Amino acid sequence: MTPAELAAASDLILPMAIRVAATLRVADLLADGPLTSTALADKAGADPEALRRLMNYLVARGLFQATGDEEQREGEGASAGRLGGGQGRAEARFALGEGGRWLLDDAPGSMRKWLDLEGFGGHMDRAFFGLLGTVRDGGPVAAGNKLSLSAGAAASYDELMGERARTEGPALAQVLDWSRFTHVVDVGGGTGAQLIALLTAFPALRGTLVELPASIETAQREFSKAGVTCDVLGGNLFELELPQADAFVLRYLLHSFEDDQAVEALTKCRNALLPGGSVLVLEASDTVPAVFAAMDLLMLVLGHGRERTLAEYDAAAAAAGLRRAAIHTPTAGPRALEYVAH
């Protein structure tokens, strides 16, 4: 890495400027056409002069376009006006640029929602400002999980995870024969998007969602809207008695736990597993080192989990009385590690 590349990689101005624009929904406000800085600020609930300066920077970086003269320069008088509180400035007009289209609310990948500083993405971003203390101390001052989030951040988390599951769920439904199961329990399944995909593809399946109480009402609305019937069990996994079933799905759940809790979660599933059943663990693969390392660092700063290699998941499963029977690789989403009872 060259000094210039290091400087670019360590720059915080652009990442934060993009996040502020995403939080203010600037791209959506400009979707119908250019606006003056004053009109844009009024719609965004921002200070016109501060927003103008933010937009000028994002124009320079290619995300938006300026469609009028940003300043009116008339010799010393205009300069004096600028120093005297902004008098002498002409209205700037801004338009959506090609790069800024990825910040539209309905853009593929939900980039705006992930970058929103007032949502779960912002919660993750702010956690990294404590990275120095985390590395020095071995963990953050207070470990976090969904229970520790504000109501808004928790709802944002469910929305983001739900959108990802809606995209990836059909691929999981196709990658293995779910008709060999009678009852599937999605442990920590959010607002039910993964279960909806499975129950839609295999109507004979019985489904049960296990989730924290804060997500249950939204999940029930989603099931009703999708026209599927599903049982719902609200509560903390470690305090619940899981229903007996022949398929348990743990999707992006075990990486939220340290090793002892991961083994405990798998053990609870093993104890409720019917003969011939399977526990399916869906987690990020360690075959892409850079992505795996980034996620592992994220779990460190969030303070309640870690990414694991395939061997580490096998070891956790073995401690819970399970052995790996297969690895299923969907066309989208994480691989599914299938474990069965010893």
Active site members = 255
Q: Please, what's the largest Cα pairwise distance for the chain?
A: 86
**H helices of the chain, where?**
3-10, 13-23, 26-29, 37-44, 48-60, 75-83, 111-115, 120-127, 131-137, 151-175, 193-201, 213-226, 259-272, 289-302, 310-319
User: Position 105: which residue type?
Assistant: D
DSSP strand pairing (273-283 vs 245-251): parallel
Question: What burial class does residue 33 get, using C-beta atoms within 10 Å of its C-beta: 0-12 exposed, 13-18 middle, 19+ buried?
Answer: exposed
Contact 240, 267 (CB under 8 A): no
Compute how many other C-beta atoms are within 10 angstroms of the C-beta atom of residue 103.
25
User: Position 295: which residue type?
Assistant: M
Contact 269, 257 (CB under 8 A): no
Size (the chain), residues: 342
- Contacts for 199 with CB less than 8 Å, ≥ 6 apart: 205, 207, 228, 229, 230
How far is CA 79 from each of CA 30, 83, 89, 139, rounded to the nearest angstrom? Answer: 30, 6, 10, 51
Q: Is 184 helix (H, G, I), strand (E, B) or coil?
A: strand
Q: Number of H helices and number of E strands within the chain?
A: 15, 10
Q: Which two tokens stand for residue 171?
A: 């691929």
CA geometry: angle at 243 spanning 241 and 247, to 5°? 125
